[in-house]
Amino acid sequence: MLLIHPPVAKACEPPAGLARLAGTLRARGVSCRLLDANLEGLLWLLEQVPAAGDTWTRRAAAGRARQLATLRDPAAYRTPDRYRRAVSDLNRLLAVAGRAHGTVVGLADYQHERLSPLRSADLLRAAAHPEDNPFYPYFSRRLPALLAGVRSVGLSLNYLSQALGTFAIAGWLRREFPPLTITLGGGLVTSWLCRPDWRNPFAGLIDRLVAGPGEAPLLTLAGHDGVAVPPVAPDYGDLPLADYLAPGLILPYSAAGGCYWNRCSFCPERAEGNAYRPLPVSRALAELRSLSGAPRLALFHLLDNAVSPALLRGLAAAPPDAPWYGFARIDEQLADPDFCRALRRAGCVMLKLGLESGDQRVLDRLQKGIELGTVSRVLAALRQAGIATYCYLLFGTPAETAAAARRTLEFVVRHHEAIGFLNLAVFNMPAFGAEAASHDTAPFYDGDLSLYTAFRHPHGWERQDVRRFLAREFTRQPAVAAILRRDPPVFTSNHAPFFAGLP
């Protein structure tokens, strides 16, 4: 079995889903190979641009090896301008390399001038003409040797930026190796399959679509039908761990599927009916310890939607042998300065916090279960402990008004010294959530695979008003602008810990 992580996604850490599948399959005696075609494909594409053309492109091409080395150099993260120049030049080369194919390729994005990942017909066109994909020369030469003795291929599709590349690879596999069984899974596929109106448009190309964890379906495909699937540590062994675009190895790790809170309004997890599936804390801690011996390990990235309070306590009591960061819910436990100091001693360098709003009424309407007084104490406790914060704000929800958005601005300004980084997002309403039925909705994206819907805001706070407020007021406030300037371009929270004092 060959498991593939397709382009394009951020190539700063290995794919966690494939590593978890590999660990389970190999524990059951199923032979499998892993291919990070995203990392390999991006590195290959960067080499395809000659040192010619405009000044920027010539300079970027001449310095591409140096700029790749910059992203892998810890010292560069102490010089933000040097880091930004490297990201900008590498993005420039990818964009130039994609032009001939009608695409804009970046370190974290892939867009086509005619084809949309939201239209199944366009995905099928990408499959029918794989040679039109800029990564075609790479994967058409790389895959044949890996397919020797392989009977099935699994493609992991998690992001829209991967969709057209995934289907180009699938189309080439179907054309060149018709006996292969092709399985398609991953986060984006799970969201498609959870749509109540789902009708499979990919029959004949894809043999099996998998929603949620893929361990059991792949074991069944390998002849282990009905076998229990106990937790097994991820196996990253096949992946080029020294080549990722980070100053040391970042190992992503998931201790739970779903969200333990699972009450927020408009949450895609609730809309898709995803259950909370945690590993026992003792098991998660043991797996992290087992992964701590990886060469050049610099950081664990905890992928849980929110690291549970129990796991946070476990990490504080029995820390892994490497620094770590991840999402956490704002709660009273994190308002305890002693507990935050214990987390810092245990290696916590940054926590991502889904604040969403600085207006209490909005938080209550969204059922966030967050009190702004608690937020203030959490931010203060984390700052005192030396743990950086990456705060996420969501504007334009049905509960928000322009006045509420300005109260969020006031809250951020009051707490700016305790906020390390900010992510600003404009609300998208899940098309199939229970809440959508109570709003005046309309098509949002042109495509049968869209997961979101437009809506008429009950307070007249429409998307264009929200974007105008963010551009003209929120981001121009000096204290906020200073926070936003710290955000690493393209890699954002994935690289932020290295700018936050990570040893």
- Which DSSP string corresponds to 474-497? ITTSHHHHHHHHTSPTTTGGGTHH
In total, how many domains does the chain have?
2
State how far the alpha carbon of 244 is from the alpha carbons of 54, 207, 292, 296, in Å. Answer: 28, 31, 17, 11
204 and 256 co-located in one domain? no
Task: Tell me which residue has tokens 């990722």.
Answer: 244
pLDDT at 226 over 80: no
Using pLDDT thresholds of 50, 70 and 90, give the confidence band for residue 263. Answer: confident
- Residue 102 inside a domain? The answer is yes
Number of neighbouring beta carbons within 10 Å of residue 265: 15
262 and 190 co-located in one domain? no
Cα separation, 40 vs 135, in Å, equals 10
DSSP for 51-113 reads: S-SSHHHHHHHHTHHHHHHHHT-GGGGG-HHHHHHHHHHHHHHHHHHHGGGTEEE-SS-EEES
- Residue 115 inside a domain? The answer is yes
405: amino acid identity, one letter: A
Among 430, 449, 441, which residue's Cα sits nearest to residue 273? 430
Among 250, 500, 486, which residue's Cα sits nearest to residue 386? 500
319 and 462 co-located in one domain? yes
196 and 301 co-located in one domain? no
- Residue 44 inside a domain? The answer is yes
**pLDDT at res. 265:** 82
User: Please, which residues have CB within 8 angstroms of residue 53's CB and are 6 or more apart in sequence?
Assistant: 96
Going edge to edge, which strands form the sheet with 152-156?
Answer: 33-36, 2-5, 152-156, 181-185, 208-209
Cα separation, 391 vs 352, in Å, equals 6
337 and 216 co-located in one domain? no
Residue 144: which domain range? 2-221
pLDDT at 200 over 90: yes
- Residue 226 inside a domain? The answer is no
pLDDT at 503 over 80: no
306 and 362 co-located in one domain? yes
308 and 425 co-located in one domain? yes
Output the six-digit token pair for 374: 């608690």
Least confident stretch, 127-131, 136-140, 250-254, 442-446: 442-446
Angle at 492 between CA 291 and CA 450, to 5 degrees: 95
Number of neighbouring beta carbons within 10 Å of residue 101: 16
Above pLDDT 90, what percent of the chain? Answer: 87
Using pLDDT thresholds of 50, 70 and 90, give the confidence band for residue 262. Answer: confident
C-beta separation of 206 from 182 below 8 A: yes
Using pLDDT thresholds of 50, 70 and 90, give the confidence band for residue 443. Answer: confident
pLDDT at 340 over 80: yes
**Average pLDDT score over the chain:** 95
Counting beta carbons within 10 angstroms of the beta carbon of residue 148, is it exposed (0 to 12), middle (13 to 18) or buried (19 or more)?
exposed
- Residue 202 inside a domain? The answer is yes
In CATH, what number is assigned to the domain containing residue 441? 3.80.30.20
**pLDDT at res. 67:** 98
Cα separation, 330 vs 346, in Å, equals 19
* SS3 of residue 380 by DSSP: helix
pLDDT at 217 over 70: yes
**pLDDT at res. 84:** 98
pLDDT at 271 over 70: no
Question: Phi and psi (nearest 5°) for 112?
Answer: -115, 140
Cα separation, 473 vs 485, in Å, equals 16
Eight-state DSSP code of residue 130: G
Q: In the beta sheet, which residues pair with residue 300?
A: 251, 324
pLDDT at 438 over 80: no
92-114: average pLDDT: 97
174 and 323 co-located in one domain? no
The helix (H) or strand (E) run that includes residue 435 is: none
66-88: average pLDDT: 97
pLDDT at 501 over 90: no
For 375-422, the pLDDT digits (tens) are 999 999 999 999 999 999 999 999 999 999 999 999 999 999 999 999
User: Please, which residues have CB within 8 angstroms of residue 272's CB and are 6 or more apart in sequence?
Assistant: 190, 191, 194, 432
57: amino acid identity, one letter: T
Using pLDDT thresholds of 50, 70 and 90, give the confidence band for residue 12. Answer: very high
279-283: average pLDDT: 95
**pLDDT at res. 230:** 72
211 and 278 co-located in one domain? no
Using pLDDT thresholds of 50, 70 and 90, give the confidence band for residue 268. Answer: confident
DSSP for 268-321 reads: HHHHTTPPPEEPPHHHHHHHHHHHTTSTTEEEEEE-SSS--HHHHHHHHHS--S
Cα separation, 82 vs 86, in Å, equals 6
Strand 452-455 with 429-430, pairing? antiparallel
- Residue 232 inside a domain? The answer is no
367 and 474 co-located in one domain? yes
**pLDDT at res. 269:** 72
C-beta separation of 455 from 441 below 8 A: yes
Output the six-digit token pair for 447: 């495509």
153 and 256 co-located in one domain? no
For 126-159, the pLDDT digits (tens) are 999 999 999 999 999 999 999 999 999 999 999 9
Output the six-digit token pair for 446: 């042109």
- Residue 117 inside a domain? The answer is yes
**pLDDT at res. 462:** 95
**pLDDT at res. 228:** 66
Cα separation, 421 vs 104, in Å, equals 27
102 and 139 co-located in one domain? yes
Q: Select the more confidently predicted residue: 265 or 23.
A: 23
319-327: average pLDDT: 97
427-441: average pLDDT: 79
- Residue 237 inside a domain? The answer is no
